[in-house]
Structure 1
Amino acid sequence: MVDTPLLSLEGVGKSFPNGTVALRGARLTVLPGSVHGLVGANGAGKSTMIKIIAGAHAPTSGTVRWKGEEVVWRDPGAARKAGVATIMQHVPLAPTLTVLENVFLGAPGPWRLPRARRREFDRLLRRVHYEIDPDAEVADLAIGERQMVAILQALAIGANLVVMDEPTASLAEGERQVVFDVVRRLSAQGTAFLYVSHFLDEVLSLTDRVTVLRDGTVVEEGPTAAYDEDRLVQAIVGRDLLAAERRAPAPVAADAPVALAVRNLSSPAGVRDVSFEVRRGEVVGIAGLLGSGRSEILHAVYGADSRARGEVLVDGRPVRRGPRAAVAAGMALVPEDRNAQGIVGAFPIWKNISLPDLASLSSARALPREAAEAERAERAIRDLGIVCPGPEALVTELSGGNAQKVVFGKWLYGGARVFMLDEPTAGVDVGAKADILDLVRRFAAEGGAVLVVSSEFEEILAVATRVLVVREGRIVAERPAHETSEEELLMLANGFGGAHDAA
C-alpha cells in the first residue's frame, strides 16, 4: 500500500456562529486503496468532519491536504471535481430520472452521447460485479439498489475517495453483503473509502483502520485489528453500554389486557391476512428481511395505507381507517424516515413536541398556549436526555439520536397507549441506541403496548417479549423472545426451519 496519504486532516477545528464547537484539533489520515472507519456518538463531530471533507463546510482552523497538497474547497463541487464523492445516509438521487441518467449526472467525459453512456455504464457494472436495469426509474428502486446507483455515480466521476455515511442503516443483511463486497472489490482496485457507520460489527469486519471521535476530538485511532466491539464502544461513549442494550425484557402477565388487536389485515401493498395481538406491558417485535412486508404491516395497522382491509381494535374498540382516527384511538407511529415523516425540520423542538397534542395545550382547544408547549418541551428534554441548546433549537440542528428522541417525545405526554416503531434506532449511535431501547422498555413497563420493526434481530431480542416473523407479507412464525435466537429468526425469515402459522 502507498504510504503517501490520499487525504489528511491536521489540527482541524470548526466553530459555528451560534457558539457551537463541533471539532477541536481533529486529525484523520486516509491512505489510497484503504477502507477507513470513522465512528463516534451522535454529536461527536462526524457529520461536520464529513462536510469539511466534502467541501460543504470550511474549517475554522487546521489544514486539509489532498494528495499531499493543501486545499481549501469552496463548495462541494470543487471537492467532487478533485475526486471526492460523498454518499449520505439518505441517498441524494433524482427520483424521476433513470438509473443511467443518475449515474452520469455531473460526470465529466463524453457521456451525453447515448452509446458512450451505455458502454461506460456496462464497464462500471463489470467493475462492481452488479446488475441493474439502466432504464429503471430511481423512484421505483429499493433502498439497496439506490445505494448501488450512488456508488456507480461516484465511480462515473472518477472518485479516488468515496465517503459513505451510514450506507447500510436501512438495508437487510443480503443487501449489506452486496455493499461490503463492492467496497472490498473497489478498494482492491485502488479506490479509498471513508466508512462511517454505527454498526460496529461492520466497521470491525470491513475497515483497515479506524478513527474514534468524541465531543469533537479524536480520542483513538489505529489499525482495526487492534479493536473489538467492547473497546470501540468504550472509546465512543466512555462507558460500557452493551449490557444495557442487551438487557432482557420483563415478562408480561398472561391475563394482561389486549391493547391492540389486528384481524385479517390485507393490502395490495403486500400485507396478506395478518392477525395478531399485543397486550399491555408487552413489546412485540416484527422480524423480517427487507421487502418482507414488515413496514407495510405497520403502516396498514396505523391506517396510513388507505387500501388496507381488515380490522384493527385498540382496547377492544374498532379503529376507523386513517392516521387521524389512529391517533384519536391512542396509537402513535414513529416512522423509519424521521426527517420526512417524523419531524418538521423548520420548527423548533417545542413546536414538534406539541404537534400531536396541540388541542389539549390550547385555550378552548383552539388558541395555542406557547407557554404550555414550551413547558412540555422542557419536560421532554429533561426526561429523554435530549442534548440541545434549548427548546428553541431547530430539530434539524440536532444529531440523529437526539432528533429521534424528539419524535418519541411527541407522543409520550398525550394519550398514546400503543406505540408502533419502524426502525427506531436506524442511524443513531450506540449511546443513543441504548437510550431509545430503554425508552421502549419504560413505556411498556408503564402499561403501554409496543410493536417494533427492526432490521437488527439482536435489537428485537433485546426489547421484545414475543417475535412475529414475516415473510412475503404473512406472519409465518411466532416465538417467545427468550426461546429463540438471531440465527433461528434469520432462518425463519428466509423460509427455512420449522415455521408455524402464528395466526
Structure 2
Amino acid sequence: MSSTDSATPVLELVDLTKTFPNGTRALRGVDLAVTAGSVHGLVGANGAGKSTLIKCVSGVQPPSEGEIRWKGRPVQWRNPGEVVASGLATIHQHVPLVPTLSALENVFLSEGGPHRMTLSMRERFSALVERLGYEIDPDQQVGTMPIGSRQMVAILQALALGAELVIMDEPTASLSASERLIVLDAVRRLAADGTTFIFISHFLDEILEITDHVTVLRDGRAILDRPTADLDESELVQAIAGRELLAAQRHVAEASEGRETVLEVEQLGAEVGVSEVSFTVRAGEVVGLAGLLGSGRSEILNAVFGADSTRTGTVRVDGHAVAANPRAAVHAGIAYVPEDRVSQGLFVDQPLWKNISIPYLDRFSLRRLLPRERHERERAQRAIEELGIVASGPDALPSELSGGNAQKVVFAKWMHAPTRVWLLDEPTAGIDVGAKADLLGVVAQLAAQGQAVVVACSDFEELLSVATRVLVVRGGRIVADVEAHRTTEEELITLAHGLGSTPREVTHA
C-alpha cells in the first residue's frame, strides 16, 4: 500500500505511560502517530504492551502519564462510549457479537435493539455492505456464520457507528487462509476509501503485506517505528524478540527403526471427519499432521484421544489397547493440547495451581481422595520456573496471562505426569514469535526424552521446522506420509490441496 506518513496524524500518542497500582509499568513513554487513511501495523511479543495501549486508546483504562491526541487535539476520554462517539472503534479477536441476533440486528444494535429495525436501516446496511465489498445476508443469525463472516459483521458494526479509525486486534488469528484473504481485502478496500486502521497481528507476512507503517512494542516501549516499505521480516523478528532469531532449523531425528513403537492407530474412523486412518509413532518421533482447514487433522487427534464418542478402530499405547474415552486415554499416558485453549484447555477462573494439577489430581491427593494443596502449588511453581511462564505466581488466573503464557500452562498440565504420547492441535496459534520458539523447543525436548508427539498445524513451514515425519491429511484420510527433511512446504501444499501426487503418496488411503 502507498504510505501517507507525511499527512497530519488522526491519532497521536505522546510519551504515553501506564503504571498499575502493583508497580508494573506496562507502557514506558510510547510515541505513535497514525496517519489518516493509512493502515498502521502494531506488533510485539505477548506482554509487550499492545493490549494496554489498546485499552488506553479505547477508553477502557486511563494512561498514567502522557497525552492522547485525536485529530490534533488532546483528549481525556472517560469511558469507551466517548471514544466510539468520537469516531474510533475497536474490533477484538473474539468478536463480541450477539449470536442469537441477525447480522442486521447486530450492526445496528446501538440504535434501539433487535425489535426496532427499520427500512432505512436495511438501506444503510446495503450501502455498508457495498462499501465493504463482501456480501452478507442481513437476516442470517450471526451464530450460524463462520468466524470470517462474523469478523465482517463486526467491521460493518464499526462503520455503522461512524468509525473513522478502526483498531483490529488479531482479526485473522482464528481464520482459515481463505477467510484471512477476505479480511485483508476488506481492510484494503476500506483504507482506499478513507478509513484508518491500526492492524495488530502475529502474522508478520500480513503486516508486511497490508500496512503502510509499523510500530514494534517491546517491554512497554516503541523500539521500532518505520514505513513498512523500509522493513523486512527478519528486521521485524529481531525487533520483536530483542535478539536475532535465526530461521528455525529442521530437526532431523536419528533413525527410528530401532526404537519401540509407542502409538499405534489402526483403521480409525468417526462419523465426522475421520475415515480409515492408520499410522504409528515411535519413541522420539514428532509426526506432523498437515492439512487445510476442514481436512480432518483436528478430528483425527480428537478421535485418538477418545473425545469423539463415534470413534471406531483401534488405538494402542505401548501395545495396549486404549478405550474410546478421554479418561482411558489419560490413564494410558496420552496428553491432549487442544486448539482452543480458552474453552477446552483451561479453567480460566481457577488459579494456575489448580489448572496444572487437574489431569492427575488423584496423584496429588491423600489416598487418591483428599487433595493436598501444598503439593499442587509446588508442582505449579516448578512448572512456572521450568517453562518460563510469566505470571505473578501459582495463584494467578489464566485469564490474566498473555496467549503464549496461557498455552504454556496447558503444556504444564501434562509435563510432570506419566505421559507417553502428546497430541498437539495448533499449539502455537495466536502467539508471538518468541513464545512460538519456546514451545517448539518444548516439543523437541519431549521427543528427545523419548516421548511420541503428534502435531497438527496449518503452518507447514513451522511444521517442517519441528517434525521428523509428516502425514498429509485430506478429506479425513491420510494421503501421504513423507520424511520432513525430504519434502518441502510447496510439496505439502500441493498434496494438501490434492493438486498432484508423489511417489511417496499413501496408496491405501
Both structures adopt the same fold (TM-score exceeding 0.5): yes
Q: Deviations over 1:374-407 (max 9, x none)?
A: 2111211111111222222222221111111111
Q: Indicate the residue corresponding to 1:237 in structure 2.
A: 241
Of 9, 19, 24, the match for 2:13: 9
Q: CA deviation at 1:467?
A: 1.3
2:137 to 121, 126, 133: 133
Which of these residues, 473, 481, 486, is aligned with residue 483 of structure 1?
486
Please, which of 173, 176, 196 is the counterpart of residue 172 of structure 1? 176
Distance 1:323 1:97, change over 3 A: farther
What pairs with 1:183-332 in structure 2 (closer than 5 Å)?
Answer: 183-243=187-247, 245-332=248-335
Alpha-carbon distance, 1:109 to partner? 11
Tell me: CA distance 1:478–1:104, structure 2 relative to 1, closer, same or farther (3 Å): farther
Question: 1:200 & 1:124 partners in 2: Cα distance?
Answer: 29
User: 2:366 aligned with 1:363, yes or no?
Assistant: yes
Q: Does 1:99 align with 2:103?
A: yes
Deviation, structure 1 residue 133: 3.3
Secondary structure in structure 2 of the residue aligned to 1:64: strand
Partner residue of 1:374 out of 358, 372, 377:
377
Amino acid at match of 1:202: E
With the length of structure 1 as denominator, give the TM-score of the two structures: 0.95
1:403 alignment counterpart: 406
- Mapped pair 1:470 → 2:473: yes
CA 1:135–1:257: 2 relative to 1, 3 Å:
farther
Cα 1:3–1:404 shift into 2, 3 Å: same
Where 1:168 maps in the other structure, the secondary structure is coil
Deviations 1:52-85 (A, max 9, x none): 1222111111111112222222222222222222
Query: Residue by residue, what CA displacement relative to the aligned partner does 1:291-324 show, whole Å, maximum 9, x if unpaired?
Result: 2222122212212222333222222222212222
Q: How does 1:62-141 map to 2 (within 5 A)?
A: 62-106=66-110, 112-141=116-145
5+ long unaligned stretches in structure 1: none
Partner of residue 349 from structure 1, selected from 352, 357, 361: 352
Match of 2:155 among 112, 126, 151: 151
1:337 matched to 2:348? The reply is no
Alignment of 1:388-427 (within 5 A): 388-427=391-430
Aligned positions, number: 502
Distance 1:88 1:331, change over 3 A: same
Please state how far the C-alpha of 1:471 moved relative to its aligned partner: 1.9
How much has 1:256 moved relative to structure 2?
2.2
Instruction: Report if aligned partners of 1:249, 1:441 keep a CA contact under 8 Å in 2.
Output: no
RMSD: 2.0
Deviations 1:221-263 (A, max 9, x none): 01111111111111111111233x3342423411322222222
- After superposition, the Cα gap between the structure-2 partners of 1:131 and 1:428, relative to the gap in structure 1 and judged at 3 Å, is same
Deviations 1:146-196 (A, max 9, x none): 222222222222211111111222222222222211111111011111111
State the partner residue of 1:142. 146
AA matched with 1:501: V
Further displaced range: 431-440 or 112-121: 112-121
Q: Distance in 1 between matches of 2:198 and 2:113?
A: 26
CA spacing shift, 1:377–1:276, aligned 2, 3 Å: same
1:333 alignment partner AA: Y
* Mapped partners of 1:97, 1:468: distance in 2: 41
Q: CA deviation at 1:107?
A: 5.3
Alpha-carbon distance between aligned partners in 2 of 1:313 and 1:98, rounded to the nearest angstrom:
46
Quick one: structure 1 residues 488 and 116, their matched pair in 2 at CA, closer, same or farther if it must change by over 3 Å? farther
Selected match of 1:23 from 2, 9, 27: 27
Q: Secondary structure at the match of 2:109?
A: coil
Per-residue deviation, 1:108? 8.3
TM superposition shift of 1:114: 4.4
- Is the Cα contact below 8 Å between 1:171 and 1:455 reproduced in 2? no
Percent of residue pairs identical = 60
User: Aligned equivalents of 1:72 and 1:268: distance in 2?
Assistant: 56
Which secondary structure does the structure 2 equivalent of 1:424 belong to?
coil
1:393–1:468 Cα change, 3 Å: same
Residue range with higher mean Cα deviation, 493-502 or 7-16: 493-502
Per-residue deviation at 1:9?
A: 1.1
Distance 2:146 2:422 in 1: 26
**Cα pair distance change 1:393/1:294, threshold 3 Å:** same
How far apart are the structure 2 equivalents of 1:149 and 1:19?
39
Q: Which residue of 2 aligns with 1:501?
A: 506
Q: 1:236 to 1:298 in 2, by over 3 A?
A: same
Distance in 2 of aligned mates of 1:417 and 1:8 = 53
- Structure 1 window deviating more from structure 2 (1-10 vs 396-405): it is 1-10
**Larger displacement relative to structure 2 (124-133 or 452-461):** 124-133
Q: Answer with 314-323 or 264-273: which moved more.
A: 264-273
Residues 268 and 308 of structure 1 are in contact (CA less than 8 Å); yes or no, is this contact kept in structure 2? yes
Distance 2:112 2:44 in 1: 35
Give ranges in structure 2 of 5+ residues lacking alignment. Answer: none
Q: Is the CA contact 1:251–1:465 (under 8 Å) kept in the aligned structure 2?
A: no
Residue matched to 1:384? 387
